Amino acid sequence: MASTNEITVESIVKTYGLRHKIVAIDNVSLSVEHGTCTSLVGPNGAGKTTLLKVVSGLTNRYQGKVSVNGRVSLSPEVSVNFQFMDAVENILYFSKVVDREIDPTDILKKVNLLLGKQQVYSYSKGMKRKLDIARALSLGAKSILMDEPFDGLDPGASDDLVDIINSLKKEGVTFLVSSHDLHRLTDISDKVVFLKKGRVCGLRDLRVRNTLIANFMENSVLAADLLEQMGCTITNTGKGELHFIPDPRLKTWEIIGNLISNGVKVTGVYNETLDSDYRRIYHGNLD
């Protein structure tokens, strides 16, 4: 079945300020497929939150086009749930706002938040994030946008959130997430968009998981020729390093053995990760 995009962002430009304009988003386009998670990564000020605000409709002063299929719900860095209500009262309130009939128990089960009468002000950060997702489901959102969802969560709470997001993806919920937590993003993301000064400066499809990085003392050109002859696809080249997708018929040791026996001085081989992507994109190396 052909994949459908739940979110499409085309040539977005968003500025702040009147006299001294800050260009927060500078000609960004991206799409998020149904039932997948795309993550936004980048240093502070790269434009991640601004892009989430644009997609959620929280700000409408921008250039470009945003198309969303159905409702989207934003889980901002600071919780917007009613602090002096419990979880059931919160989600019943939000479902009524959009005139939907919901089964609160069913929704709270999906986010692993089965509580009695505990009011939200006493929730842990992890519980607040779960309630954000429950709120989105009670609103009937097809896409959930999350800004720094793992911020301040302990490892157990982060694991829980990863499981909830992954099981909702299987039910067809779509996620657009901003985070600095590259390890957790690896667990939930299908695609990662790297932003720098409001522009897209890199893309990674995590569904293609077998990209390798090889480091060389010298002979990178010879290495590239040999890799291509072996049917590998080179995806990136840097000083003394090559990123490549191996031919699936070959084992890694066969590829490296062939390079070495042809005189290439290989100093290391490892799997490409979001950390190595981050260092290459923002720091220009892979130390």
| Site for ligand ATP contains 75 (CB under 6 A) | no
Question: CA separation (Å) from 218 to 39, 155, 190, 215, 226?
Answer: 35, 41, 34, 9, 14
Q: Which residue has the tokens 């720098």?
A: 196
Which amino acid is present at 156? G
Nearer to ligand ATP, 110 or 197 (CB): 197
CB of 274 to ligand ATP, least distance (A): 16
Running DSSP on this structure, what letter comes out for residue 64? E
CB of 191 to ligand ATP, least distance (A): 17
* Whole-number Å distance between alpha carbons of 158 and 152: 9
C-beta of 24 vs 55, nearer to ligand ATP: 24
Nearer to ligand ATP, 49 or 215 (CB): 49
Nearer CB in complex with ligand ATP: 41/144: 41
> Contact 46/103 with Cβ under 8 angstroms?
no
Minimum separation from the CB atom of position 69 to ligand ATP (A): 24
Backbone phi and psi for residue 124, each to the nearest 5 degrees, phi listed first? -75, 170
123/194 with CB nearer ligand ATP: 194
Name the residue with tokens 């929730």.
123
Taking the complex as a whole, how short is the minimal distance between the CB of residue 269 and ligand ATP, in angstroms?
Answer: 32
Angstrom distance (rounded) from CA 175 to CA 156: 21
- CB count, 10 Å around CB of 148? 20
Tokens of 86: 């419990």
Cβ 205 to ligand ATP shortest distance, Å: 21
Residue list 4-63, contact with ligand ATP (CB under 6 A):
16-17, 22, 24, 42, 44-50
Q: Which residues bind ligand ATP (CB under 6 A)?
A: 16-17, 22, 24, 42, 44-50
